[in-house]
Amino acid sequence: MLRWLRDFVLPAVACQEDDDYVNYEILFQYLDRDGNGLVDVVELQEGLKNWGSSFGLNSENGIFKAGDTNEDSRLDFGEFLQYLKDHEKKMRLAFNSLDKNNDGIIETSEIIAALKSLGINISEAQSKKILQSIDSDGTMTVDWDEWKYYFLLHPATNIDEIARFWKHSTIIDIGESISIPDEFTEEEKRSGDWWRRLVAGGIAGAVARTCTAPFDRLKVMMQVHSLKSRRMRLIGGFEQMLKEGGIRSLWRGNGVNVFKIAPETALKIGAYEQYKKWLSFDGANVGIIERFISGSLAGATAQTCIYPMEVLKTRLALGKTGEYSVFIDCGKKLLKQEGVRTFFKGYIPNLLGVLPYAGIDFAVCELLKNYWLEHHAAESIDPGIIILLGCSTLSHTCAQIATFPLTLIRTRMQVQALEEKGTTTSMIHLIQEIFNNEGKRGFFRGLTPNIIKVLPAVGISCVVYEIVGQYLGLI
């Protein structure tokens, strides 16, 4: 459809406003499949499927949200025309923001500079791939007409949103993410979509954590009881939990794991925004280094504030049936029996894991997305939700594997009072002890259930986010 629109209709009429009216009318008639003078969501969705470039899922809802002024869930030609005129103005501003030398065309160097300002580093070859996907006349430059009609039915409002699919989103939660927080556009902040996204992400994370909680508890048990039960495996671990406390015991500790989502997310995003302002000085030019440092510091800040909840989760997961009623009861007993310091045991290895986790997660995700861009950007510069989820899953997995020894040491230190009758072992001594008694494999006890839960956690989060997002008007 896009090629037909460019090659057949547009060249003859692209420069005149009256002819633009005719051009848009032809496009409206094409979308209006039943010929009743109105385009509904289904018709627009079908039309976008035939559009030459993909801009992600649910683009039709973004167009309807902006264009359906009378809120009758249908677009008449007047509403459609007004949306395109308003959208054209926004795309002109986006084009001008890219065209730094004001020569009327966008070149590879301008694409590289624009994405670099957003914290995205690409090569000249990758920039050429992006231009090829927009360029219709083979000049390896993009003029206003090519830009205008490529983004004609893209609901983005500025260059930041056009490039936003390359930003690493952490709205999809897998339960142990310390990665770079998500960013919100000015439009999302004004419309209130930012808090809707957070609510949808929080609910999705809570459901995903709950569904994969048995694997999380098994991981903790294998980390702590590996010396006593060297042969503990997946099936044996589940059998042991069921025998000790029944089916409900599989979710022991999940309550506090879900409860800490809201404060952790709020702290992480708030701290991230503040650190970005401090590091960028002028508050405007935030590069990839500033984003990474800000994200790492934000993760460390959030982890510091909610760390006592991590200790409670571990102790509840290892507790016997009837030992603690709820996590508040667990907190009271720990405070009375072991003192305040017990709530920060294992804090140092936990903090040491923040930077490598965020770094590996960020680097792997960018590497995978850049690989996709290198090989497929000529077809479409939007990788789509499946590719992004795949990149996110693999990057989370790599980060978890690399930092798992620190996670295991943290867990062992959190439960030292149970294992060693109140004695405290330093982190260095504990590392030596694990290596001497269990070997290198000892640092990865419990890794299997931790990796198994990643894919279902991401899948469940994505599905629930979509469902909740529909109720909240996001999609």
Structure confidence at residue 309 as a pLDDT band (50, 70, 90)? very high
Query: Which residues are CB-neighbours of 427 under 8 A, at least 6 positions away?
Result: 348, 349, 409, 413
User: What pLDDT shows up at residue 106?
Assistant: 87
What does DSSP assign to residue 151? Answer: S
Task: Give the mean model confidence (pLDDT) for residues 193-202.
Answer: 82
* Rounded Cα gap, residues 197 and 182, in angstroms: 10
* Rounded Cα gap, residues 54 and 49, in angstroms: 8
Task: Give the mean model confidence (pLDDT) for residues 238-267.
Answer: 89
The answer to whether residues 114 and 97 touch, using CB atoms and an 8 Å cutoff, is: yes
Report the number of distinct structural domains present in the chain.
Answer: 2
User: What pLDDT shows up at residue 421?
Assistant: 52
Q: How many CB atoms lie within 10 A of CB 160?
A: 18
Residue 249 has pLDDT above 70, yes or no: yes
Whether residue 222 sits in one domain with residue 337: yes
User: Which tops the pLDDT comparison, 299 or 122?
Assistant: 299
125 token code pair: 């070859």
Whether residue 275 sits in one domain with residue 142: no
User: What pLDDT shows up at residue 5?
Assistant: 47
Residue 164 has pLDDT above 60, yes or no: no
The answer to whether residues 298 and 275 touch, using CB atoms and an 8 Å cutoff, is: yes
Q: For the chain, how long is the longest CA-to-CA vector? A: 85
User: What pLDDT shows up at residue 11?
Assistant: 44
Residue 311 has pLDDT above 80, yes or no: yes
Closest CA to 216 of 434, 459, 441, 400: 400
Structure confidence at residue 125 as a pLDDT band (50, 70, 90)? confident
Closest CA to 221 of 206, 197, 240: 240
In a domain, 176, yes or no: no
Q: What is the CATH number of the domain that holds 150?
A: 1.10.238.10
Residue 47 has pLDDT above 70, yes or no: yes
Residue 406 has pLDDT above 60, yes or no: yes
Whether residue 279 sits in one domain with residue 152: no
Residue 467 has pLDDT above 60, yes or no: yes
Return the beta strands (E) in 38-181 as ranges.
Answer: 38-40, 74-76, 105-106, 142-143
**Domain boundary pick from 134, 166, 198:** 166
Calculated CA dihedral for residues 188, 190, 193, 197, nearest 10 degrees? 70
Structure confidence at residue 182 as a pLDDT band (50, 70, 90)? low
pLDDT tens digit string along 318-377? 888 888 888 889 999 999 988 899 999 999 999 898 888 888 887 787 778 767 766 665
User: What pLDDT shows up at residue 57?
Assistant: 47
The burial of 56, by beta-carbon neighbours within 10 Å (0-12 exposed, 13-18 middle, 19 or more buried), is given as middle
User: What pLDDT shows up at residue 214?
Assistant: 94
Annotate 286-331 with DSSP letters as a single string.
Answer: --HHHHHHHHHHHHHHHHHHHHHHHHHHHHHHHPPTTT-SSHHHHH
User: Which tops the pLDDT comparison, 281 or 136?
Assistant: 136
Task: Give the mean model confidence (pLDDT) for residues 280-292.
Answer: 66
User: What pLDDT shows up at residue 409?
Assistant: 93
Residue 66 has pLDDT above 80, yes or no: no
Structure confidence at residue 468 as a pLDDT band (50, 70, 90)? confident
In a domain, 17, yes or no: yes
Structure confidence at residue 276 as a pLDDT band (50, 70, 90)? confident
In a domain, 303, yes or no: yes
3-class state of residue 231 by DSSP: coil
* Rounded Cα gap, residues 63 and 84, in angstroms: 9
Range among 60-69, 78-87, 122-131, 203-212 with highest mean pLDDT value: 203-212
Q: What are phi and psi of 281, to 5 degrees?
A: 65, -60
User: What pLDDT shows up at residue 425?
Assistant: 75
The answer to whether residues 157 and 91 touch, using CB atoms and an 8 Å cutoff, is: no
456 CB-side CA count, 13 A: 15
Annotate 369-381 with DSSP letters as a single string.
Answer: HHHHHHHHTTT-S
Q: How many CB atoms lie within 10 A of CB 50?
A: 11
Whether residue 456 sits in one domain with residue 310: yes
User: What pLDDT shows up at residue 19?
Assistant: 60
User: What pLDDT shows up at residue 289?
Assistant: 75
The answer to whether residues 148 and 80 touch, using CB atoms and an 8 Å cutoff, is: no
Task: Give the mean model confidence (pLDDT) for residues 204-210.
Answer: 90
**Domain boundary pick from 117, 135, 166:** 166
Whether residue 411 sits in one domain with residue 466: yes
User: Which tops the pLDDT comparison, 145 or 343?
Assistant: 343
Whether residue 268 sits in one domain with residue 379: yes
The amino acid at 344:
F
In a domain, 177, yes or no: no
User: What pLDDT shows up at residue 381?
Assistant: 55
pLDDT tens digit string along 104-115? 888 888 888 777
Structure confidence at residue 53 as a pLDDT band (50, 70, 90)? very low
Q: What is the CATH number of the domain that holds 361?
A: 1.50.40.10
Range among 29-43, 218-232, 368-382 with highest mean pLDDT value: 29-43
The answer to whether residues 261 and 199 touch, using CB atoms and an 8 Å cutoff, is: no
The burial of 337, by beta-carbon neighbours within 10 Å (0-12 exposed, 13-18 middle, 19 or more buried), is given as exposed
Whether residue 224 sits in one domain with residue 286: yes
In a domain, 173, yes or no: no
Range among 28-42, 46-60, 218-232 with highest mean pLDDT value: 28-42
In a domain, 20, yes or no: yes
Whether residue 219 sits in one domain with residue 153: no
Residue 15 has pLDDT above 80, yes or no: no
Residue 116 has pLDDT above 80, yes or no: no
Q: What are phi and psi of 75, to 5 degrees?
A: -110, 125
In a domain, 128, yes or no: yes
Residue 10 has pLDDT above 50, yes or no: no
In a domain, 174, yes or no: no
Whether residue 297 sits in one domain with residue 231: yes
3-class state of residue 273 by DSSP: helix
Domain that holds residue 381: 186-471
Compute the mean pLDDT over every residue in the chain, rounded to the nearest whole number. Answer: 78
Task: Give the mean model confidence (pLDDT) for residues 460-474.
Answer: 81
Strands 105-106 and 142-143: antiparallel
Residue 398 has pLDDT above 80, yes or no: yes
Phi-psi region of 19 (alpha: psi -120 to 50; beta: other; left: phi over 0): alpha
Residue 96 has pLDDT above 60, yes or no: yes
Calculated CA dihedral for residues 198, 204, 207, 208, nearest 10 degrees? -120
Task: Give the mean model confidence (pLDDT) for residues 94-99.
Answer: 80
Task: Give the mean model confidence (pLDDT) for residues 299-328.
Answer: 89
* Rounded Cα gap, residues 26 and 414, in angstroms: 67
User: What pLDDT shows up at residue 210?
Assistant: 93
Query: Which residues are CB-neighbours of 435 under 8 A, at least 6 positions away?
Result: 442, 443
User: What pLDDT shows up at residue 168?
Assistant: 47
Whether residue 305 sits in one domain with residue 384: yes
Whether residue 226 sits in one domain with residue 159: no
Whether residue 364 sits in one domain with residue 234: yes
**Domain boundary pick from 166, 197, 224:** 166
76 token code pair: 């008449």
The answer to whether residues 143 and 92 touch, using CB atoms and an 8 Å cutoff, is: no
User: What pLDDT shows up at residue 12?
Assistant: 42
Structure confidence at residue 293 as a pLDDT band (50, 70, 90)? confident
